[in-house]
Amino acid sequence: MTDEELKNLIASAVGDKLAELFGGIAAKSRYTLFEWLDKWYTDFKVNHIPPLSKNGLYQIRNCIDKHIKGNFANKPLNEVSLSDCSEALSKISSSRMCVYVYDTLNDCFNKAVALHELRDNPLSLMDKPKHKREKRLPLTKEQEYYFLKYIRGNKLENLFRFYLASGVRKSEALAIKWSDIDERKGIIFVNGTKTENSKRYIPLFDSIKRILAKQPRKSEYVFPYADYTIKNTWRWLCKKHADINYSIHSLRHTFATRCYEKGIADKIIQKWLGHSKVSTTQDIYIDVLADFENAAVKVMNTAKVNKGQK
């Protein structure tokens, strides 16, 4: 070993020791950001106790691969700055995903700090982004009439009708199996994954029975379609019919609104939609409830005065 190599070795050892003494970690991280993310995922999520659900693990893995690795540079872990995080989060258009990426990174960085792989969490000085719920309006009676007309004869007609008749989320319908349908009890099991209350039973309405009677049994799944098939079909419908200026999720809101119009109680609608709290249902449909309240006020104001009253 030359004198120069020996000097560099000593300098490196002393520098690392001083950093360890005064900062709690080595001057240079042993991992890049992507390496640490993969290790964190494997050590603390895949091997989590109690085990995380397959869907939960998939969402974390997808968040890392698509939204974090897709927007960050693969720097050494200790060189990731607040500005790097801010810039990367600004590239994510979905506010819901932005919050999810923030939570994933925050957990990942906190674990690195706890294990002395990182001195400080770069997100500690950043305010957590807020999810802005997109306001999706239900279809009017006229829009619903024309929508049903437009999808007549379409390969996915039964699926789209099912969304309107059941209020299930897009992915929930695709997970329903024929074995989940209990005609004797008149219920359908929905294996939702969004919240604990997403796993639920919904009524086998007569309208749903008519839809299922027309659906071919070619698979164990009632609607054996790939997600991209549904998206492409919806884009085609939107392109062909300019007045389809709403999303598939609007069909779910339409179902809930029709329930309110029929006077069904909030608690029952909450159960059918798979919301964890009735307040969630009320918050989402606050405009609908306000319209119904205004209509009720008009009824009271125009009611005939009882005899004997001035």
Which alpha helices (H) appear in 117-262, and where do they start and end?
Answer: 141-150, 157-166, 170-175, 206-214, 227-240, 249-261
Is the bond into 50 cis (omega within 30 degrees of 0)? yes
Condensed to tens digits (0 to 9), the pLDDT of residues 271-302 reads 999 887 777 676 666 566 566 556 556 666 77
Cα–Cα distance for residue pair 82/122, rounded to 1 Å: 5
- CB contact at 8 A, 41 and 105: no
Each domain of the chain, given as residue ranges in start order, spans 18-125, 141-300
Count of other CB atoms within 10 angstroms of residue 80: 25
> What is the pLDDT, as a whole number, of residue 95?
84
The CATH number of the structural domain formed by 18-125 is: 1.10.150.130
The predicted-structure confidence for 15-55, as pLDDT tens digits, reads as follows 454 444 444 444 578 999 999 999 999 999 999 989 888 87
Let me know if domain 141-300 sits in CATH 1.10.443.10. Answer: yes
Q: Token pair for residue 188?
A: 């359908």
Q: Distance between CA 190 and CA 212 in Å, rounded? A: 15
Pick out the chain residues at pLDDT < 70. Answer: 1-27, 133-136, 193-197, 280, 282-300, 303-310
